[in-house]
Amino acid sequence: MELNTGRQANRELTEVLNQLWHLDTNRLKPGTDYRISLQGKAGYVAPGSNQARDRAHAPLFGYVNEEKLHNIETFAHFINLLDNYETSTGVSETVTSEELQENRLFIDAIMETEVMKCAHTYLVKKDQSPADPGQFKRQLYDIWFRLYHRDRRGGEDSCGFEHVFVGETKHGQEIMGLHNWVQFYLQEKHGHVDYKGYKARDNKDSPDEDDHVLNLQFSWKGLVKPIGGSFIGVSPEFEVALFTIIFLMSTEKMTSVVVKVDEYVLELVVYRHGRSIGTSYPKLLSSNNRDL
């Protein structure tokens, strides 16, 4: 299938991603399982600058039901993984056998969900993945957990999971990745993330606090991310499934595809690093027919 990179929503991908959305029973409910406070609209940050005006004096997350997170198996394994990565690129990762086991437990857990089973079925039908679940798990492992050199000066210092979900810093200057809401919440709770405000084109486009996709501005460990797209409240298996499909359906170094998932028109962006994901994130284009 040719991935349509124009601004029209890709019909086939829209269909399969909406199936995943409806199957995502582990998604948390806004207002019930968590509360966010969007506050002000973030301003312009000059490239390379780490100065951003703070348009949000309170945290983004006012409340998250952590007990629920720890009681949902995929979230519990996911949170274990967040602890395992050293955030500075160029620092070789030391992977203990216990951590390797945790990577596998996470893949085992997400493969039990209807979301991942649906993604697997679709990818087999498209001749992109092996039908055997064990071989598919190995493919997922290579895409998300295989270590590679992101920084030429160091050792094997990065992997897709770390970049997308955990975040990493580059020469202590630029934030890379950190597109996951659970990590954002945990980092904010520990005082490492400072939410600066939401990004939108004009005042008519202000997002709602029950929106499941947001464009955010924040600083992390003193470094500013001028804009970062993130799903909010979704399960880790939903993000892994969605980005695995986009990754495998294209051989390009960079793939960008427009889809409509639930009420959100999104651009999904995936960068390839050999047989692994370099980065992947959503960019909200419009919601509820609001044009951003």
Q: Which residues are catalytic?
A: 163, 179, 225
Element (H or E) spanning 80, and its range?
helix 73-82
Q: What is the CA radius of gyration of the chain?
A: 18
Task: Report d(CA 16, CA 119) in Å as an integer.
Answer: 8
The amino acid that residue 207 corresponds to is P
How far CA 290 is from CA of 1, 7, 92, 207, 264, in Å, comes to 29, 15, 44, 9, 9
4 three-class SS: coil
Asked if 183 and 166 count as a contact pair (C-beta separation under 8 A), the reply is: yes
Task: Report d(CA 211, CA 167) in Å as an integer.
Answer: 22
Which candidate, 179, 153, 157, places its Cα nearest to that of 166?
179
Task: Quickly count: other Cβ atoms within 10 Å of residue 22's Cβ.
Answer: 12
How many residues make up the chain in this entry? 292
How far CA 90 is from CA of 93, 140, 152, 225, in Å, comes to 9, 24, 8, 20
DSSP single-letter state for residue 99: H
